[in-house]
Amino acid sequence: MGYITVESGVNLYFEDIGEGKPVLFLHGWPLNGRQFEYQTGVLPYYGFRCITIDFRGFGNSDNPWQGYNYDRMSDDVRNVIERLQLNEVTLAGFSMGGAVALRYMRRHAGSRISKLALLAAAAPSFTQKPGYPYGMKPEEVNKLIEQTFRDRPKMLAEFGKKFFASDVTPAFRQWFQSLGLQASLHGTVGGAAALRDEDMRADLAAVRVPTGIFHGKLDQICPYEFALELHKGIPGSLLYPFEKSGHAIFYDELERFNATFLQFISDRNRP
């Protein structure tokens, strides 16, 4: 664990666990890299090196006033990859992290990436746009931003209820909400604005590595239609539907997700 300077005065926190082929995890909004502990605690036993980062404004990373757009966040990812001298990376992005991963593939030509895993990705667009009728309306995200300014803990608690299709213990839910509380207020707002405004439809054609799309059919935050659009837009991609999972694709069907994800990154990638 440690910090990497991605621009003057901005340091990102990262954790680096295990040895072997690297898997770089990008977290979702409004969480941080700790959301993947049920993956990073298992995959090293199978010979994988797991790296998580906290995006700027989230978790233990610095909280600059600016930089909460996917171009800047994908530049941050590039800096981490280069500073850690990673090669043949599986880039695994959840929700907002999946959108940033797609922007990385276009903006940085997929540099050093050998596989892409999109986990309940907030893409091709998180909000409805002309020709794209899926997801939230921009006005609904504006309400989340308003709630963040007024009562961020309540917003996180209400938004968190939509994550899971499975029953989780009160203790787990409390821990999960604590991840969002570690973010800064302006980082939370900046990430929400990016979700509202960014559009990755033009990024899909830049993906030229084996891609796995992991998505829950019960997802209330990033509807399953997102996965179908990604599958259509990324030639040769593999779609892994999870019948009993909501947005929390990494936890709702934990054993099945870990086994399927391990199969994909181990080159035994059959849907």
Question: Is residue 271 a part of any domain in this protein?
Answer: no
Confirm whether pTM is higher than 0.95: yes
C-alpha span between 120 and 117 (Å, rounded): 10
At 247, which CATH number? 3.40.50.1820
For residue 267, count other CB atoms closer than 10 A to its CB. Answer: 10
Number of domains the chain is built from:
1
Q: Compute the average pLDDT of residues 134-158.
A: 97
C-alpha span between 30 and 188 (Å, rounded): 6
Tens of pLDDT, residues 220-252: 999 999 999 999 999 999 999 999 999 999 999
The catalytic residues are: 95, 219, 247
Which residues form the domain of 205?
2-265
pLDDT at 268: 55
Tens of pLDDT, residues 183-223: 999 999 999 999 999 999 999 999 999 999 999 999 999 99
Question: Is residue 197 a part of any domain in this protein?
Answer: yes
Question: Is residue 163 a part of any domain in this protein?
Answer: yes
